[in-house]
A and B are shown apart, each in its own frame.
Chain A
């Protein structure tokens, strides 16, 4: 960030590129050149905002959060595919927060507002970024958009860079461009003369390139194959640097304690803490304190020893029960959104009608690396090291907290020890800034204790669903869903942009109106409960609860219709959308659904369409002397183009585990406004002993590329609940399931 504004604004290399071959970038996008934030050292050239070429090779700036999903590896492959450099020679750095790196998918979908499968997230961004003029601030890693965003953008960048280098080579060699080829970082003439990219780069900046035709899939060398992740060796040897691992000369370590009820602080007595070993300073944060010490543990211990009198109220109902009461009452109030209203849903018309109410609890992100950031304020300004999913928003919030201008903030994005949406928040970087402000010239690393992390999260909200279904002739003919939850979007947008959208929060009902089932009478309504507990985006966001509501209830309808639950779904999808039918067909075959089932087992199926990708799951459970074990899972997904199959398999398996973890055991509750779960013993994620064996199959039948990072979360809970129904005959409509089932853990 520090470098933006200090360099001359220049046009994106591909700003002037006309794109052919169906790779249609939005005209709006290419007509808005953005400043290149890169200012490389001597001997290096920033070809554009993504590619730096120097004597020692090519560096890709991949400005998306590496939080476990492997984005840097696949982005490097996308670039290398067209740039004609060896993929393994491409170095990848995260790069600075900069408007050049805005998320084109969140942005484009937001502006275009294209309907059926445009995410509610994008819609909400759309209104705000348009209104606030902050479109380019969306350097956001989220919404399973990184591959959709990079798929064309990085290949076009690679191709445009290659063509510019060829033009310089053509002039130098006196040969026409069509007579030149590129390979392994060199431009090669037919007579064998070769010029390395590094020798051409300085002259290639600013060259306008002709029409780009992206290579067809049949010519791909890297994409579509499984590549070893570039971060793998570091992560298996303890040498990958997370924010918690940043070490600077003279660094001090800090711990925080903030109001457990999210209210205020009356006063505190730190006399005893100040005398404890290693303690250097107690910082008044207004709503809590921080201790700066020579060691994180000494800081934590001293923070616990500060006597604090809290005051003020929470600003939200003090108990979980009161929050759910508010959600239930919201059904009697105004409708927030009606995303779909087809046919006749009010009257029964002789259908067999089923109805049910479902509930999910509040849940935490609990990434393995708790919130942490390092900061230094000195004469140059503010330096921050943090893992952020929204570094432009974070950098601006930190600049404000430090009292310095935006161009004096240097923000380094590190690897993230899990994120799941939590690191899209700004609080941990801002708190580090405020603590660093108390000790100018000294770098401070702030590590939240697990207790602080768990009690000061921004949670996936609890939600209630009221569902009605109509069956005739063994088929679903009516579906009517109402969901009530507090609005996540309004809170997050307020924290990011200082303003909340006025339009309905479609996230409350996302994943209900757009499921690929042909049901003629179909209505989906959302209700925004007017309560403000701390809420944030959590992996798969609204889909995380609506997948459970929808696919459990479809199972209830199948049961009422006397149909096999997989047959029932296949009939509903067949005419609606073939790729959805395809993933169901795949899990049917993979799981040998129609074959003999082992005694004492149950199986459930679920199909969820989210972030552009349909995912089907069959899950098997087994009775182990009264306890229930999850034995096997089969997952089929159709992302359109499987850019790195082995990594996609890992994401689908991990998404399933994340969803099962919440379905079985995770629950956040409030009492007196305080979160009751403080550490993993009270908030038990899934362990290896409960993890089923997982088989994954990838299909590529749909035309567009879909998301992957979140898409296996939504079907996990309903597949499990449906399997339990198959095993026991009991329909479980409230999560977490451990309240009703004794699982093998």
Chain B
């Protein structure tokens, strides 16, 4: 049965079983590979996307259960038109291997949408579900702080 899904403002008809997680719809059916697979059990945050502005683990949302429009890293900003968080990430040279950073940025974007000027503790709390094996955490903190200031200013 075909399911209708809106991703980054574009509507798609997806012919996959209802229980296929959104992650694998995005990656293997729609070729939106910016969203990453890390664990499949919501323990690492690499697959974080936004549904209706809320950060969710796309490995845990079945295709049939997607309740609103989906935004992925490709929809947040592009190399030619960066989101201010992506700009902050580049300014702070955050990424090392880079694999987890799509999820990190999508999580941070949801945080700043809700809490425009987060405290250090609020940043750590919001980002606690996103693993980075390269240890980029100090620069993630710095980039979020900087983006929050840009937003305020």
On A, residues with C-beta under 8 Å from B are 67-70, 226, 228-229, 231-242, 244-245, 247, 253, 277-278, 294-298, 300, 366-370, 415-420, 447, 449-450, 646-647, 650-651, 653-658, 661, 679-681, 685-689, 691, 693-694
B73 and A238 contacting across the interface, CB-CB below 8 Å: yes
B86 and A689 contacting across the interface, CB-CB below 8 Å: no
How far in angstroms is the closest Cβ of chain B from A68?
3
B137 and A247 contacting across the interface, CB-CB below 8 Å: no
| A415-B97, A691-B137 as given contacts; A681 in contact with B41, CB under 8 Å | yes
Once the chains are docked, how many angstroms separate the CA of A651 from the CA of B136?
Answer: 9
Q: Which residues of A contact B50 (CB under 8 A)?
A: none
Point out the residue from B46, B78, B98, B131 that lies within 8 Å of A235, measured CB to CB. B98
The 8 closest A-B pairs by CB, nearest first: A238-B34, A657-B135, A235-B98, A417-B99, A68-B97, A238-B73, A68-B96, A654-B135
B137 and A688 contacting across the interface, CB-CB below 8 Å: yes
Q: Which residues of A contact B94 (CB under 8 A)?
A: 236
Q: Scoring B residues 27 to 68 as 1 if CB is less than 8 Å from chain A, else 0, what string do you get?
A: 111011111111111011010000000000000000000000
B98 and A240 contacting across the interface, CB-CB below 8 Å: yes
Given contacts A229-B95, A418-B133, 20 further A-B contacts (CB under 8 A): A68-B96, A234-B79, A235-B101, A236-B98, A238-B32, A238-B34, A238-B72, A297-B23, A366-B133, A368-B100, A368-B132, A369-B38, A418-B134, A449-B40, A653-B138, A658-B134, A658-B135, A661-B135, A680-B38, A681-B43
Smallest Cβ-Cβ distance to A368: which chain B residue? B99
| A68-B97, A418-B99 as given contacts; A295 in contact with B33, CB under 8 Å | no
Smallest Cβ-Cβ distance to B46: which chain A residue? A368
A295 and B20 contacting across the interface, CB-CB below 8 Å: yes
Smallest Cβ-Cβ distance to A367: which chain B residue? B133
Q: Which residues of A contact B131 (CB under 8 A)?
A: 368, 680, 685, 687
A367 and B97 contacting across the interface, CB-CB below 8 Å: yes
A231 and B99 contacting across the interface, CB-CB below 8 Å: no
Once the chains are docked, how many angstroms separate the CA of A657 from the CA of B78?
Answer: 30
Q: Which residues of A contact B86 (CB under 8 A)?
A: 236-237
Once the chains are docked, how many angstroms separate the CA of A658 from the CA of B41?
Answer: 22
Smallest Cβ-Cβ distance to B96: which chain A residue? A68
Point out the residue from B29, B73, B128 that lies within 8 Å of A295, measured CB to CB. B29
Q: Which residues of B contact A689 (CB under 8 A)?
A: 124-125, 128
Q: Which residues of B contact A416 (CB under 8 A)?
A: 97
Point out the residue from A232, A238, A242, A658 that lies within 8 Å of B93, measured CB to CB. A232
How far in angstroms is the closest Cβ of chain B from A510?
23
B98 and A688 contacting across the interface, CB-CB below 8 Å: no
Point out the residue from B32, B38, B100 that lies within 8 Å of A450, measured CB to CB. B38
Once the chains are docked, how many angstroms separate the CA of A688 from the CA of B39?
Answer: 18
How far in angstroms is the closest Cβ of chain A from B74?
5
Once the chains are docked, how many angstroms separate the CA of A240 from the CA of B100?
Answer: 12
A369 and B93 contacting across the interface, CB-CB below 8 Å: no
